[in-house]
Each structure stands twice: as structure tokens, then as C-alpha cells.
Structure 1
């Protein structure tokens, strides 16, 4: 289970943003508010604005010349003078050009164009001449380029938000000095790195209350400054920058009225200064995802108003102070992914009656509470993975009636689950109890329609799988992830799959399941991964599965199946196909080549026969870089996200001779493993077109012929295993180009000639070349004779030797010698042949001598020229 913690921070952040910052996620209706008539000049200005805009959703349909503009959607007029004072055009899917006619709206003080799409055009400079503006919101409107200095002319502006326009930048911020009335300033996602004095400039605004500068590529908080004058500041958001230093001392001078401080993801170092915990009005503090070390200061208990505290994903150590238990208003506590030691007990939660969200995962803590403890809180989110909770099942969980998210994986819980367990989890939306030793009859588990994820992998759950799947109580379930792998479940797969059509990820692997795969599994039309590996399932793979067109991953390895079905090519989105060690017979179907998105093809250790399909080059995901790989967008299918927490698929593969588990890194694997079958014929030369392949294993088959000459063009290869076949001929010289090779096994074939010279090929131990009697050269102990070397020479026309002619004449000499001794025997026993032969030889010997010397002289001259 993988938690996306940055997303967690964003998720909980929105709870605490002030009302003044929240965007209006509705289209403003002025019709019910205004009772005045519109000024004609203002009306024509708005109609000109409409003509320049592309109104995809017809939200401006009420803007008609036949209606009073004060009752148009999104328009608000001043009731006293009938002039347009506000434009609420946010989240209207508008695009196009913002007309300069807005300048005619002389009384406009409120302009909201946020949440639209202006196609990366610059912010109009004329906005800096709309002097009556007090509110300007261009957030998430896809503006690009330089933030215009003219905005500094808006001396009445109190609210300026340019956030989440990812291609905005500044050359300096000195122009901002004119914003004397500014209270709310948001430049998040703008590139501010060119302005080194940003802090001094921002601190000169006397009324500044909220400052949002996250993702701004800032690199310094100016630690040398002793004092920064943020006297009115209530919200400071500086997250996701590159500060990479300690929290400066001037933080102790922040206004005691500060309510929210966001500093996550900044690479901050050193200790947490105790002075931060003197900000008694602070409601929200986020120092997560940094490199802070040392203990949590006990002064944390001074934060009497704190509602959310994030200290997770740092390097904090020591024990967690019990003063945390004094924070009676605390609703969210994130302290996971640190190096804390020691015990957490009842005292740490003494007054935390309002606690709703608790994240303590991945910290070496011991959660030691009495078996009869009743917590003062009612959690809705509890992430306590990888901390010591067991051995007994935590009885305090029974009191948590509002829990919707529970992660207690790898928590040392063992023994029999309590009787209340089966019904208790029925209303929890996300359950992860994997990697414990919980003993429970799976038939006792009931799932309501609210449960979306159930992960109880790697425990000792037992009982027939069909009893669990076919319960009447769970026929209305909405389960999307079911992982019961590595348990003791038994029996045949049920025919109740029509009740489980919400499933996206299904893992029943490593149990004691028997029987065939039921045809009814074709009802799982939303399924993206199907894992039945390591059971005793037998028979055919039913054709109904071809209805599951969303399948990206199929793992049926280690079973007793029959043949690879021809219809497999119809599941065109398939990325991983693992069928190893499942007793498959017959041929590898050509239809596999239709799986253009395939990145992992593992058919090893079966009884497959016939030849390797020569159409493998059609698998474009193994031939094209990621930028051209249409399957790349499907890789997110290996991850399931709920409430910013992810369930990640894991697959056991053998890339370099050892079985490894691939999880988040599965998206980087490109593998073909056809080893340990009965395949025959030659290695298709077309396999050399799989330029992005990283692992290739064809060992332990009956392959003959040569290694493809162009194998060196597969430059991403990290592992090649062709061992224990009947391959012959030389090792292609192009193999010297494979600079990423970490494993090369060519042993026990009929290869011959010299091993090509390269840093890579000579770095492997001789054991990877043994079993080829005619192979010679480093690293083998056998030196190459002239005859051996000739076996490794390139054919005529190659440029791999000194010249075309040298290869030809050396080959001619070796051939002449071989032919001479082959004929000598016949001449010795036949006198007539002997006299005729030597007569002929005398006539041509002079011609051969003269011709050879001329050629050799030319060769020496050519070498001399090349050496110069």
C-alpha cells in the first residue's frame, strides 16, 4: 500500500483555507440580486467582451442586447448608480481573447476570471489601468509569460490571485511596491526565482494578511535576516520550494495572530525551533516532507488552538512527547515516516477528543495501550502501518464507529480475530490488514456497499472462497480492490462473479484454490488486473475473459492450465502477461503479437513447442521509446487510488536469474522470458527490432541457428540468457555495443570462434561461456589459434577488419591450406593425378607469387597511409 502524502497535505489543506480564499464554484446569478437598470456604455462594453470570448458552455447566453445587463448571469451592478461593479465569470470554460473594452467599466471593482482556459496567452497589460479594481482573480486560467508590471498600478487592489498558472514568471518584484492596499496575494506556481529580495518586498505590505507562494522555485528564506515585518499575516504558504536550509530565526517574529503556516516539501534541515510552538493562535502547521531532525519539542503542547499538525516524512527522532495529548482541538495528526522510537500510550491521546485523522505509519513505534482502553476520539482515518500494535488484535478499534479508512498492515498482529471483527469492518471503505498473521474464517467477513478496498493479503484467513463470494449479504457490494493473496483459502472459484462487477483489481494468488476458471468471470468487465497465480487451478482459460477489455495485467502462473488461447490477442490493452510454470502446451500463438502495449511477456517453464513467433517486433511497447509508447498512459492502471492512498500491484519476475518482486517499479520493466520450454527453430532476426527490451531469456530450449547479427542494436538490454540451446556460429560483434548488460549467459551451446573484444563482454566470468568447445578468447582460458580466429572474421564487405582485401586473402590462405591437405591423400595414391597436378602447379606458381606480392605491397602502403 502506497500513500501519496503530498496529496494528503493538499486534501486536508482545503479544510482550513479561509473563506476569503475559497473560489466560487458556482456561476454567479445577478438576476436575483440587482433591481437597477444597466448603464448603456457598460452594456456595450460587456457585449464586446462576449464577442471576443469562446463560450463553450453557453454560460453567457443571457448576455443579450434585449435584456438589462444588470440581470445577466455573472454581472452585478451598483444599486445606487446602475454601473457594473462586479464580474463573476469563474469556472465558466471560457476561452479566447479578453477585450480591452473592460476599461470602459469605470466602476468595476471585482473581476473573477479564474478556472477558465485562455490558452497560455499573456495576462492583458491593460488590467493595470483598471484603477477601481479591489479584487482580481486569474487563478487556474492558463495564462503564461511575464506577469505585467502594470498590475503594480492598482493601488486599491486588496485581493490578487494569479495562482496555478504554471507558466507565469517575473523578472523582478519591485513593481509590487504600488500594491499598498494588498491583503491577499497568491502567486503560487509562478517562477519567482529571479527575485532574490522577494522576502523583503513582501514584508513591506502593512495590510498583508494572506500570502501564497508555493511552487514558486524560491531557493532561500534569507536565514541571515533577524527580523521580517509580517505584522498582519494570518496565512503563510511557502510549500514546495527549494530552501534546503534550516528554519530561520525570524520565524519567531511572525505575528502572534498567524493562523496557518504551510512549509511542506521544502528540504528544510535542522531542528524544529521551539519558537514556532509559541504561536498560540496557530490552527494549522505543516512541516511535513522535509529533512528536519531531532525531537519534537515538548513546547508543542502550547499550540492550544491547533487543529491540524503535519510533521510526517522527516528525520525526526526521539520519543513522541506526551504534551501532544494536551491539544484538545486537534483534528488531524500526521507524524508517520520518521525515526521515532519508544512507546505511544493512552497519555499521548488524553485530551484528543476531536481527533479524526491519525497517521503514524512507518515509524518504529510501539503502540502500547491497555486491552480495555476506550479512546476519547472517534477516528475516520487511521493509518498505522509498520508500527508495533500486536500481537493481540487491538480491541480499542471496536469503539471506532466512524472509521472509513484503516491501514494496520505489517503491524505484528497475530492470532484469531475477535468475534466482532467480521461485522465491524463491513462499513469501512478502505481496509488494509495485509502482512500480519490474523486468523479468521473468511466466511465471517461481510461487506456493505460502502467498502471499496479489502486487502487482507499475507495472513492466515481460511475457508472456502465460494462461501465468501456468494453470500447474499454482500450481493450489492461496490468492492473495487480485493486482495486475499497468500492465505489459506480453499475450494473452487465460485460462479457468483456477477455480484462483483465493480472489481478493478482482483488477487486470489497463493492460496489452495482448485478447479477450473469459471466462465462467469467474464462478467468482470471493469477488471484491470486478474491474479490467480500459485494455486491448483486447471483446465482452459475461458473465452469469456475476452470481454474484460480493460485488463492490463494477467497473472496465472504456477497452476495447471492447458493452452494459451488464440483470443488473447483481443485484449489489446494488456501490459503484463505472466503465465510461467503453468504446464501450458502447444504453440505460442501468433496473436500475442497483436498485444502492442505488452511490456512483460513471461511464458517460462512450460511445455510450449514450435518456433518463436517472428512477429514480436509488432509489440511496439518493447520497440518504441516511452514518448511513442501508447501503453505508457495505461501504467497508472497498476495503481489504485482512494482518498489519496494507493494500492499498487506487485508481480514476481525473474529478470536476471533471481526472482524479484516488482511493485511501483513495474512500469520500468520490459521483459521477454520464454525459458525452459521445448521451443525449436532459430531466434527470429526480427527480435532485434525490440530496441527498448531490457530482459531477454530464451534459455533451456532447443533453439538452433545463429544469434541475430543485429542484436547489438538492442542497446537497452540489461540481461541476455541464451544458455542450454543448440545455437551455433560466432558471437555477433555487434554484441559489443550492449553497454548496459549486467548478465550474459551463452553457456552450453555450439558457439565458435573468438569472443568479440569489448569492455562489457570480457567483464563476465568464464562460466557464462563454458560448454561451447570451439569458443575461445578472454575470459575463457582457451587461446585462439589462427584457425579459431578465422571463424570470427567478418564476411567480405565488412569494415570490421583492417581492409576488405586483408580479410579476403587471409581467408583465401586458410582455405588454400585446408584444400591442399585434403587433396594430398588422393595424389599420393594415384600416380597419374600426381604427375598432372605437379605439372600444373609448376606453371602457375610464378603467377601466384607475383600476384600475391603485389597485393601485399598495396596492403602495406594502405596501412601506412592510415597510420599517418
Structure 2
């Protein structure tokens, strides 16, 4: 029987296939062995990335020696069974990206060896927990758990006020979480990733987050947080990705941010920040790839030293109150010193296919790829030096007070009129507004024939006769042979006979060559 052949099985990995149906029935045994434990020696079961459907069976709890259970990226639905609380040896439990609903069973609080719990991208909700693993209205661990991912579910309520433990990774993003961020979150000194984005959190950023000295990614974007950005965040010297956009933060940029030398992504857009953009941003950020300060209240001139950021790929300063001219040095953004992934690749931490907004931009770009300075008060001419940014894929200088002729040369010709619109004093291609002194092609009396303008004495007359003679020569070359052969029938017959013979000969040679090729292929 198959059961007897598999009863000593320790490791089973059939993930990343095209399995369909419910969980394999052989794992459950046969009816005559209901009193026995199915696969009693099994320690790792990997069925992720398939097309499995149905509910999670209760018999999973009988795999008492199971250490790792991976069922992610399937179409499993229904509640998570209470029997999973019987897996006393399990350390890795992956159930992400399914159709699971209901609540997390309290029995999971009995899993004292659980290190990784990922139930993200489901339809789970929670009311309350009182076990030794979970507490409060949101299931936050008390114990040795290192990774907890509850993102993209329907969890609501507050984050507990007494979070502490050995967390390395915590994500509750894309839920319905409300209330304030508890100060106790800083009681996880080894925390490397904290993602609370896209919720309804209020209040300020607790100063205690600075205690998480190993933090590499902090994402608090898309909430209702307010107050000043605490200067204590400047103590996070290992921080690579910082997302605080779409909140209500006010005040100026903390000067302590100068200490964030490992920063690769700084996204502070869509807040109420004000003041001048400090020149120190142009120094000490050898790895900064993305800088977004858009939709704030920054004013004053742009520091020319921004072009000294050696690895910058995206610069977004749109929708502010910046003025002055665009520095000519903006055409001199230095090439990247190394090519690597933007921001923290979370897969390096837990081997998971996470995708962070602005944080994993796989590319081998060597220069600035996106520049958005729209909706400000910039004046003066567009620097000629911008045409040298050969890797620039997106440019938006619209709705400013720029003036003069657009340097529509080289790479600048790849951008449409919308990139320059809303500047009343700009002229030249690709805009319809012509600059003073430009030739008006619409008034050309030669019916669309463009004749190069030349002020040299007599040259204009010569150029016109050149184009006219070229056209007449082309017509003569076509019409004269035709008229001759039509008039002298014998010449026409000889000409067309020659053409027919030549075409037949060429066709014969081609067919012969193809036959030889086919024979040679048949021999091999």
C-alpha cells in the first residue's frame, strides 16, 4: 500500500508545479488506517505555488513531527483549522496568498517553537485574543517569533501597547488598523523591517523606534500620522528605505538625516513639510537612488549640489513652492558607481518575493531616469545641459514660469509637449508656440516644399533650381524609356522578353538551391 511506502517519509517538496485539486489524499491515509497517524515521520511539507483548492483539512494537525508547512500561493479557502495548534514542533507556517477567511485560531498561541508566520494576502479578520502568543485586538506575538506578516487582510483594531520580543520582521500593512503606534514597538531591538503602511494610524512617530538600531526598512506611508518627523530617526544608521509619504507630517527636514548614509530610498511626498531643501542632501548619500519630496510646501531655490548624488535615479520635487532657475549642473548627474537593487530586498532576509513601493526597482540604469519639477515656481531658461541625460525616461517641467527656447536637441526630443506645458513664456518645439525669428513653415508659398533658408548671395536661387531639376530628372528617367518602348514596338518586345528570361532563371536557381539544402538535411 502507498501508505506503508511513505510512512517513513521525512521531506516532501512538490511546490512550484501545476498540481490541481484538493490536498493530496495519500497524506491522509486510507479508511482502514484512520486510527494511525498519517505520515508520522514527515517534517517538511511544501505544496506552495500550485493550483490547489478546497479547505485546509483537520488531519494536518496529526503531522506532529512537522517543522515546516508551506501552502502559499494556492486557492485554498475557508477557516484555518484549530488543529494546527497541535503542531508543537512547527517553526515555519506559510499560508500567504490564498482565499482563507475567518479569524486566526487561538490554538496557534500554543506553538511555542513558531518562528515564521505568514498569512498575508488573505481575507482574515480578528476580534480578540487572550492566549500566550497573541494579545490585544491585533495578533502580535509574545515570544520567540521572528517574522509575522499579517498584511493585505481585513484586520482591524489597535496595535497592542506591550509589543516586545525577538521580531525581525513585522508587517501589518494594507489592513484597517487604527489608533497610535505604541512606544513598545521599540522593544524589539533586532527589528529589521517594520511596515505599517496603508492603514488608519494616527498620532506621532514614537521616539522609541530609534532603539531598533538594525532597522533597514521603515514604511509608515498612507496613514493619518502627524507632527514633526522625529530627529531620532537619524540614529538608524543602517536604514536603507524610508517611506513616510501620504501623511500629515509638518515642519522641516531633520538635520539628523545627514547620518543616514545607507539610505537608498527617501520618500516623504504628500505631507505638509516646509522650509528650504537643505544642501546637505547633496552630500553623504552615496547610495541614494530615489528622492521624493513632492506635494509639500518646500520653497526657495534648488541646491545645485543635488547633482552630486552619485547614484540618483528618480528625483521628484513636483507640487511645491520652489523658485529660481533650474541649476545648469542638473545635466551633470553622476553615473551610478555600482548596479544593484534599489532599497532593501526583503528576500535577502526571509527568501520571500516581496515587492515594496519604490524599493525594488531592478535596473542597470547608469544615470538619472526620472526628473519631475512640475507645479513649482521655477523661472529662467531650461538648461542646455539637460540634453546630455541620455538615460532620462521621464521628464516633467510643466506648470512653472520657465521662459525662452526649449533646448529641443538630442535626448530632449524624446519628450512630448506635455513635459513643458503650462509655462507661458516657453517656445519652440515640441510646443506649438514659435520663438521670435523662427521660420513660419505654415506660410511657405511652395506648397509644403521645404527649401533650406540661406542668406548667401545667389544661393537661394541655386537651391531652388537644384530641387526643381532633381524632380524633373526623376520624372524623365521613368517616362523616356516608357515612351521609347511604346513607340518602337520591337524594342519593347525585346526588353520585356529579357526581363522574363532573367526572372525565370533566378527562380530556377533558387529552387535548385533549396532542393539541395533539403537533401542534405535528410542525410543528417
Normalising TM by the smaller chain, what interval?
0.7 to 0.9
Correspondence 1:552-631 to 2 at 5 A: 552-562=264-274, 563-570=276-283, 571-621=285-335, 629-631=336-338
Displacement of 1:389 after TM fit?
2.9
Aligned equivalents of 1:851, 1:675: Cα separation in 2: 45
Contact 2:58 2:83 in 1 (8 A): no
Correspondence 1:705 to 2:400: no
What's 2:145 paired with?
A: 428
Displacement of 1:663 after TM fit?
4.8
Aligned equivalents of 1:663, 1:775: Cα separation in 2: 48
What's 1:836 paired with?
A: none
Distance 1:309 1:615, change over 3 A: same
What's 2:517 paired with?
A: none
Correspondence 1:670 to 2:369: yes
What's 2:21 paired with?
A: 318
Correspondence 1:642 to 2:349: yes
Displacement of 1:398 after TM fit?
1.3
SS at match of 2:387: helix
What's 2:195 paired with?
A: 483
What's 1:531 paired with?
A: 243
- CA deviations 1:829-858 (Å, max 9, x no partner) are xxxxxxxxxxxxxxxxxxx9x997666445
- CA deviations 1:50-99 (Å, max 9, x no partner) are xxxxxxxxxxxxxxxxxxxxxxxxxxxxxxxxxxxxxxxxxxxxxxxxxx
Displacement of 1:301 after TM fit?
8.0
What's 2:169 paired with?
A: 453
Distance 1:425 1:604, change over 3 A: farther
SS at match of 1:522: helix
Aligned equivalents of 1:605, 1:573: Cα separation in 2: 25
The number of aligned residues is 456
Contact 1:648 1:664 in 2 (8 A): no
Displacement of 1:523 after TM fit?
0.9
What's 2:102 paired with?
A: 391
Contact 1:569 1:591 in 2 (8 A): yes
What's 1:146 paired with?
A: none
Correspondence 1:682 to 2:381: yes
Displacement of 1:329 after TM fit?
1.5
What's 1:750 paired with?
A: 433
Displacement of 1:395 after TM fit?
2.4
Contact 1:690 1:714 in 2 (8 A): no
Correspondence 1:721 to 2:419: yes
- CA deviations 1:539-566 (Å, max 9, x no partner) are 1101111011011110111111112111
What's 2:498 paired with?
A: none
Displacement of 1:609 after TM fit?
1.5
Displacement of 1:630 after TM fit?
1.7
What's 1:409 paired with?
A: 120
Aligned equivalents of 2:460, 2:190: Cα separation in 1: 86
Aligned equivalents of 1:429, 1:542: Cα separation in 2: 31
Aligned equivalents of 1:375, 1:394: Cα separation in 2: 12
Displacement of 1:388 after TM fit?
2.8
Correspondence 1:220-619 to 2 at 5 A: 302-325=5-28, 326-347=38-59, 349=60, 351-371=62-82, 374-420=85-131, 421-422=134-135, 424-448=141-165, 450-465=166-181, 467-469=183-185, 474=187, 477-562=189-274, 563-570=276-283, 571-619=285-333
Distance 1:704 1:452, change over 3 A: same
Q: CA RMSD in A?
A: 3.5
Larger radius of gyration: 1
Distance 1:663 1:547, change over 3 A: closer
Aligned equivalents of 2:45, 2:373: Cα separation in 1: 50
Displacement of 1:350 after TM fit?
5.4
Distance 1:708 1:856, change over 3 A: closer
Contact 1:492 1:513 in 2 (8 A): yes
Displacement of 1:617 after TM fit?
2.3
Aligned equivalents of 2:440, 2:4: Cα separation in 1: 75
SS at match of 1:567: helix
Aligned equivalents of 2:89, 2:326: Cα separation in 1: 60
Aligned equivalents of 2:434, 2:42: Cα separation in 1: 72
Give 5+ residue unaligned stretches, structure 1. Answer: 1-277, 279-298, 622-628, 652-661, 733-745, 754-773, 777-783, 794-800, 813-847
Distance 1:303 1:855, change over 3 A: closer
Contact 2:266 2:291 in 1 (8 A): yes
Contact 1:726 1:750 in 2 (8 A): no
- CA deviations 1:376-429 (Å, max 9, x no partner) are 453101111012332222323112111111111112111334133146344211
SS at match of 1:617: helix
Contact 1:635 1:667 in 2 (8 A): no
Distance 1:712 1:512, change over 3 A: closer
Aligned equivalents of 1:455, 1:576: Cα separation in 2: 22
Give 5+ residue unaligned stretches, structure 2. Answer: 29-37, 478-524
SS at match of 2:102: coil
Correspondence 1:730 to 2:428: yes
Contact 1:447 1:477 in 2 (8 A): no
Contact 2:403 2:427 in 1 (8 A): no
Distance 1:857 1:603, change over 3 A: closer
Aligned equivalents of 2:65, 2:235: Cα separation in 1: 44
Displacement of 1:340 after TM fit?
1.5
Displacement of 1:322 after TM fit?
3.1
Distance 1:852 1:498, change over 3 A: closer
What's 2:507 paired with?
A: none
User: Which of 1 and 2 has higher RCO (CA within 8 Å, sep 6+)?
Assistant: 2
Correspondence for 1:786 among 415, 424, 444: 444
Displacement of 1:750 after TM fit?
2.8
Aligned equivalents of 1:433, 1:667: Cα separation in 2: 33
Contact 1:517 1:541 in 2 (8 A): yes
Distance 1:322 1:592, change over 3 A: same
